[in-house]
Structure 1
Amino acid sequence: MSKTDDAADNFILSARRDGVHLEAIYLGYVAGAARRLGDMWDNDEISFVDVTLACGKLYRIIRGLRHVIAPTILGDRDDWPAMFALVPGETHTLGIEIATDMFRREGWDVDMKVALDHDTLVEQSDRRNYKAIVLVANSDSMVEPLTRLVLALRIAQPLAHVIVAGNILQHHADIIDVVGADAVMKDIDSAVSTLRRLIENNDAP
């Protein structure tokens, strides 16, 4: 929440220079900050704008730690595991069911999650090491729960690419910046090739 833009980055760099173990940095400082932000948001102590700015700083730290975390995660990951999930509060399942079926036919190992609350969805996401997590949201009212979910999944799945899909894209052309996603899935026809290209480009050495 500091007004100094690089204060959080400098804090993490200082901890690493002091020899603090990566797990303590990630699960203690970064995850702890994310939980604190969630509590403050729930208690109306900070605004949506405050949360968005703070999340941006956390995302930057997580991306900076990815190359350090990767070796301990990649060894146990299947070739193309993905999670497709409805944002808590959404009820229209047809689109996500069609997309899940299509991706499975293209060789992806997709876990579909619908009708789950925030905590359950995050807990279930932590059971596998996903390459991609596709979050489906349709209504404009889903921006806040979507933002909170993206933040939690960044902590639970630091190497996964988080993609937003659904009619919410019609309401927010800047959804990537608003919620901190990696990309959007605009249409079902090009979805498979778009996601595969995103992952291959970002996972290349």
Structure 2
Amino acid sequence: MGEENGNSGSGISQKREPAIRFLVESALRSVLSKSQSDKPRSREEWVAYLAEAMISESETSHHAAISSLVASGVSSEEVFQKYIPAVSRFLGEMWVGDKASFVDVTVGAARLQALFRNKAQPGEAGWLTRSIPLGQSVLMIVPNFENHSLGAFVAADQFRRHGLWVHMAIGLEDEEIAALIETSGFSLLGITAATPKSVEKCRKIVEYLKTKVEHCPPIAIGGFAVEDAEAVERVTGADFAVKSVREAVERAELSTVAGSALLDA
């Protein structure tokens, strides 16, 4: 019976095949067109797109989103040094604007931090190449009252790109930080401050370290809360407040890798 209808067992008559093929092709073109129109076009749209992927229920969507960004022509260095910090700020804005829950933002921040932790180490293949350390080191301090640590990870990666060793001190008590400084040859101490309240609380840490550590390295305050650097310096007693890693390196007069294409954090 299939042969009598001319469908040769396909279940579709030969007369109907061209029409069905046309409908399928039209549907595919429509899907492709929609996919292309939905693709982010501007940097702001990419940041929003990545932020949504970071808080998605899918465990892999943020990796796919970043891969799409790189495929669009953005370098992996720019992804880590420009886009990820922007996504972090965007997530914070979503939380403040009640567009994302605390859980959503926490999940997103954890995934952003994981991206930095999982990057290749020196000598390994990865999205970013690392500089050869020059012997100087930085202690990045994330106080135990600070809920946002992504900025410290971004800054730490920038310091490494300048050729500096970086040690992370997350959630340590003041006594533990002092003991760590006493047993290590740090050239700079960096304290992250994400909010004005954090700035006020940093004063206690700065006072303690400068009082208890015999040879205390310069202390720099950095983070989203540093808008008026002079005001932050007055409040905290830090040697300087900075808005970028490059500024911290210059103010502390640290030796860095000469001739490198370095980006500000």
Superposition TM-score, scaled by structure 2 size: 0.41
1:139 equivalent among 169, 191, 195: 195
- The alpha carbon displacement at 1:172 in A equals 7.1
1:177 equivalent among 234, 251, 264: 234
Give me the identity figure in percent: 21
Match for residue 91 of structure 1?
A: 147
1:197 equivalent among 232, 250, 260: 250
- Partners of 1:143 and 1:196 lie apart in 2 by 21
Structure with greater Cα Rg: 2
CA shift in 2, pair 1:111/1:154, >3 Å: same
- Partners of 2:166 and 2:144 lie apart in 1 by 19
Superposed CA offset, 1:170-198 (max 9, x none)? 377501111111111213xxx23x22322
State how many pairs are aligned: 120
2:160 equivalent among 104, 108, 130: 104
Please tell me whether the aligned partners of residues 81 and 109 of structure 1 are also in contact (alpha carbons under 8 angstroms). Answer: yes
Higher helix share goes to which structure? Answer: 1
Runs of 4+ displaced beyond 4 Å: none
- The alpha carbon displacement at 1:149 in A equals 0.6
Match for residue 180 of structure 2?
A: 124
Letter in 2 for 1:132: L
- The alpha carbon displacement at 1:157 in A equals 5.5
- The alpha carbon displacement at 1:162 in A equals 0.6
SS in 2 for 1:113: strand
Structure 1, unpaired ranges of 5+: 1-77
Letter in 1 for 2:151: G
- The alpha carbon displacement at 1:85 in A equals 0.6
- Partners of 1:120 and 1:148 lie apart in 2 by 14
- Partners of 1:141 and 1:199 lie apart in 2 by 25
- Structure number with greater CO (CA < 8 Å, separation at least 6) is 1
Q: CA RMSD in A?
A: 2.3
- The alpha carbon displacement at 1:99 in A equals 1.1
SS in 2 for 1:169: coil
Please tell me whether the aligned partners of residues 88 and 145 of structure 1 are also in contact (alpha carbons under 8 angstroms). Answer: no
Match for residue 26 of structure 2?
A: none
Structure 2, unpaired ranges of 5+: 1-133, 255-265
CA shift in 2, pair 1:82/1:157, >3 Å: farther
Letter in 2 for 1:181: A
Please tell me whether the aligned partners of residues 176 and 184 of structure 1 are also in contact (alpha carbons under 8 angstroms). Answer: yes
- Partners of 1:145 and 1:124 lie apart in 2 by 20
Match for residue 54 of structure 1?
A: none
Tell which deviates more after alignment, 176-185 or 163-172.
163-172
- The alpha carbon displacement at 1:159 in A equals 4.4
Q: Does 1:153 align with 2:209?
A: yes
Match for residue 166 of structure 1?
A: 223
Letter in 1 for 2:227: Q
Please tell me whether the aligned partners of residues 150 and 162 of structure 1 are also in contact (alpha carbons under 8 angstroms). Answer: yes
